[in-house]
Structure 1
Amino acid sequence: MISRNKLTDPNRRVKLSIWLLLSFLAVMFVVSCDNKTSPESLDKISVRFPIPIVEAGQTTFYVAQDKGFYAEEGLDVQFEMGSKELNPVKMVASRQDDFAILGGPDTLLVARSKGHPLKAIAVIHRNSNFPCLITLKSSGITKLDQLQDKQIGFFYGHISTDVLRNLLRRNGIKYTEVDVGFDYAQLIAGRIDAEWAFTVTAGLELPAKGVDINFISPADYGINTHGYTIFATEKTIRERTDLTLRFLRASLKGVKYTLDNPEYALKSLLKRAPNLDEELNLKRQLAYNEVTSNTDKFPLGYMDETMFQATYDRLVEEDVIEKPFDIESAYTVEFLEKIHGKAFR
């Protein structure tokens, strides 16, 4: 029991008041932090992936979610899968999704030439060179000129098609196209001589299944391609600038954490798709990591005019740019500059 003298002692009363004030402030701080990251207080955004399945290229975004990087930025992110009908360009242009990811800037440039006001805010994999041609090891076909008058499998509508057509046209290769989609049975059976592939998908899956293959890369013939490209509408970038900055900053934290912690990243991926092959997908994750921009010269998310102009010029050559436009209108580095604290121009 506190004596009357202690309560009336001025010094003790001051100390008690300070203690009560500090306790109150501590409680309010905890409550404030809880409210800041509670689902009700977060800005809800929708992000569309380019394909309909869970795949290792998406891992960095799952990591950003699992590590709480989005929540730290006041965001509640809902990831949606893409498809032919629910593709990233359509869903963002119609404002059904806030942001989306494409397999490369190519699709964004074609969409912009058709009047869609879309703009890239980051490219995760600079010079990734995912699209390639593969042949069976037993065929002995390792160079482009060996495909003269051969049959080549394509996936019509896929981002790789225009890349490979440009490669073959530039090098004067006459060939027959076969629409095979995402099926490698005809190649394995020897009914076609070569087929499109991504180095990080079929390029890893087929060898894992015991199918020995050769790679013919457009990069070896002067055509560089780039990987995952994050974009939004001009309206979102203009009117929701702070939200765009927060989304990209958290996403790039996910990229960095994935690079530094591939085993944790794999767990994030398997959490969404437990049936995926662990060994194969760790190889795939490491393959993505190898081509992820993360140096002083090319920091996380890096992109520049040269990357976009070369892609644009190649698409013009293939006659898929409907209406010409200024390439600088297709991307903005303003958010990357704020995040990295350096100029990108």
Structure 2
Amino acid sequence: MRNFHYMRAADIDQAIALRAQSAQPAETVFLAGGTMLLDLMKLDVMRPVQVIDIHRVGLDRIEVLDDGRVRIGAMVTNTELARHPHIVAHHPSLSQAILSGASTQLRNKATTAGNIMQRVRCGYFRDGVSPCNKREPGTGCSAIDGLNRNVHAVLGGSEHCIATHPSDMCVAMIAIGATLHVQGPNGKRDLPFEGFHLLPGDTPWKETALDDKELITHVTLDAPIPDGRSAYLKLRDRTSYQFSLASSAVIVAMDGKTIREARIALGGVSTRPWRSPDAEAVLRGQPVSEALLSKAAAAAMTGAKSYGQNGFKILLGQQAVMRNLSKLLGSPS
């Protein structure tokens, strides 16, 4: 274990001030649940010089607003969010997504903002020695010609990185629609959830739109679609404690037998939580049929690229969408 300085913040302002005052803000991190940070510190992948504990800053409430939106504190645990009565009733895809990830013990510690900020599970990133542009810019991506079956993407990758974003929760959130509220030395700002996680492109080490000195304080979910129904489907090698090979969060609303509104997002196949406007456009305004659902599922994987071992994810991603739609809409005639 490498030496680091530990500090405990009493409130948000102090947490931000402590990081802003650091001589190495990029190497100063906030400690929330610690389920990812401590893991990567033990692997010697993350080497912070200063750790700021934010357990006592008060960001642990879930508020249902008058307009139907939900404001979630950054320190709300995954268990609290998944079990909240309003989330279960109005955003079941989010509850199901959270409960499909990790173990009960981890969900009891992991936080909302920590889940949003979690790092990739690529073995080459985590082994500390293999060439990895995300860990050491300019060294290359070992996964492209290496072992890339499980946690590597067919959507959103580049020649510099193909690691999948690991979160289940974020897939449901991008389907629902959300706004991130962040605070830093220069004040507060709001960021659309859909643009928060960045594609790897030429800079895979830049994973989010968050500045070094900023802290996520809240997430506000959009109001649910009127008369909408939703579900999360996760496909994996085994049903416990396994990251997704392909997953989908689907929200649909009907006018009679016609699909009035649709939201489709994918996980396990992409380098960031992946919303598919192409698939949504296929469904919107159309009567339900097996051919329509199949067309939408194919559209959801538009632009997918195989890197060898992970090529099966192109069809599996389509299945994740098709099966979820069929579950929500019934077996189409």
How would you bin the TM-score normalised by the shorter chain?
under 0.3
Q: Which has the higher strand share?
A: 2
| Structure ID, larger Rg | 1
Larger relative contact order (CA 8 Å, sep ≥ 6): 1
Compute the TM-score of the two structures, normalised by the length of structure 2: 0.26
